[in-house]
Homo-oligomer: A and B are copies of this chain.
Amino acid sequence: MNLKTLAQELGLSPTTVSRALNGYPEVSEATRIRVMKAAEAANYRPNTQAKRLATGRAMAIGHIIPISTRHEIVNPVFADFIAGAGEVYARRGYDMVITIVPDDQEARAYAELRSKGNVDGVLVHAPKVEDHRIAMLDHLGLPFVLHGRVSGIESSYSWVDVNNVRAFTRATNFLLDLGHRRIALINGIGNMDFARRRRRGYEQALTARGIAPDPALITEGEMTEAQGHDAAREMLQLSNPPTAFLTASLLSAMGARRGIEEAGLKMGRDISIVTHDDELGYLKNGTAEEPIFTATRSSVREAGRRCAALLIDQIESGDRTPRHELMEAVLVLGQSTGPAPTA
């Protein structure tokens, strides 16, 4: 069933039917209703491709996922972001087009998406310090929104990010308030922008209390269980070992926990862990002496929603002045994951 035949059945022109269906004002209420009913009855749906060609709008948003670095796709957090963004796309009639590319071909992927007219805009994931993609997208003229920020870049662009500095300042302060003075940081890959900011928050909190950050207590890398385990084992063998760990992910925290137990120490008695990730409800129901965490997964989903909404707004309004949203992480202590963080 297409427009033309539907129009014929109704004894109307395709134009009128189109207008009625798309809510144009200049069509009489009577015919509109008649058309709507007929369309409903015939189970008519406008052909997407034709619509796209005619309007010049792809009604789709692209997400490019580079894969040679495993972090992005393996990170469970990515799925949450997609879920959040997908909710918004569904609501607003957009398709989500995901492209997997070896990361040395990422630039070409954006350019192709652009020149083939596949998408109206893109969402950019996992920005690195001084990420080159910003300049490239600017140059392409393809609307985009970053999930995260890029520290080393002066040009302005739209982004949605969580306040990583503040989250880690608070988490560090929490441990300091408990009396800890030797606090280790198990962080993400150093050139990821979020990791840089988290480290800054941690160091600022220490410095503010007159404690010099100790490089021996900081490790950066892929946020896996093994990372947490190895780091904990190693650090606990120092002559002046940490009494607490602050980790950037739940997996690292689990690993650290294992390392701690292998060293014969007991969680909450000898040592504490704070993690940034609420991922799977692990580490919940603790007391103040036990692990706490800040909410990541729920906020990533919310970030997905906001990125998507922001991008669609920009596309539909044509207004390209950069906009930002900074979300606060929620510190979760001794209870299950709370609602998504507030702005």
Q: A65-86: contact bitstring with B at CB < 8 Å (1 yes, 0 no)?
A: 1010000011110111011001
A27 within 8 A of B: no
Rounded to whole angstroms, the CA-CA distance of A43 and B112 in the bound complex is: 10
A95 within 8 A of B: yes
Count residues of A near B (Cβ-Cβ below 8 Å): 53
Which residues in B have their C-beta under 8 angstroms from that of A60? 97
Which residues in B have their C-beta under 8 angstroms from that of A89? 100
B79 near A48 with CB under 8 A, answer no
Rounded to whole angstroms, the CA-CA distance of A258 and B44 in the bound complex is: 55
In the complex this chain forms, how many copies of it are found? 2
A98 with B86, Cβ < 8 A, contacts A116-B45, A280-B225 known: yes
Of the listed stretches A50-58, A181-189, A213-221, A309-317, name the one at the interface; the rest are far from the partner chain. A50-58
A28 within 8 A of B: no
Pick from B65, B75, B99, B117: contact of A49, CB under 8 Å: B117
A74 near B76 with CB under 8 A, answer yes
Which residues in B have their C-beta under 8 angstroms from that of A75? 79
Within 8 A of B (CB), among A83-136: 83, 86-87, 89-90, 95-101, 111-112, 115-118
Rounded to whole angstroms, the CA-CA distance of A221 and B118 in the bound complex is: 40
A281 to chain B: closest residue by CB: B226
A82 with B53, Cβ < 8 A, contacts A74-B76, A76-B74, A282-B225 known: no
A261 within 8 A of B: yes
Which residues in B have their C-beta under 8 angstroms from that of A281? 224-226
Pick from B45, B53, B98, B255: contact of A98, CB under 8 Å: B98
Q: A165-177: contact bitstring with B at CB < 8 Å (1 yes, 0 no)?
A: 0000000000000
Within 8 A of B (CB), among A139-196: none
A80 near B74 with CB under 8 A, answer yes
A47 with B116, Cβ < 8 A, contacts A76-B74, A99-B86 known: yes
A251 within 8 A of B: yes
B49 near A53 with CB under 8 A, answer yes
Which residues in B have their C-beta under 8 angstroms from that of A226? 280-282
A47 to chain B: closest residue by CB: B117
B86 near A90 with CB under 8 A, answer no
Closest approach, in angstroms, between the C-beta of A3 and any C-beta of chain B? 13
Rounded to whole angstroms, the CA-CA distance of A97 and B49 in the bound complex is: 14
A46 within 8 A of B: yes
Which residues in B have their C-beta under 8 angstroms from that of A97? 60, 95-98
Within 8 A of B (CB), among A233-260: 251, 254-255, 257-258
B95 near A82 with CB under 8 A, answer no
13 A–B contacts, CB within 8 A, in A order: A43-B115, A44-B115, A45-B116, A48-B118, A50-B53, A60-B97, A67-B87, A74-B76, A83-B100, A86-B99, A87-B100, A225-B281, A251-B280
Known contacts A47-B53, A49-B52, A82-B100; 16 further A-B pairs (Cβ under 8 A): A1-B115, A45-B112, A46-B116, A47-B117, A50-B53, A52-B53, A74-B280, A76-B79, A78-B79, A82-B98, A89-B100, A96-B97, A225-B280, A226-B281, A254-B254, A257-B258
Using CB atoms and an 8 Å cutoff, list the residues of chain A in contact with chain B.
Answer: 1, 43-50, 52-53, 58, 60, 65, 67, 73-76, 78-80, 82-83, 86-87, 89-90, 95-101, 111-112, 115-118, 224-226, 251, 254-255, 257-258, 261, 280-282
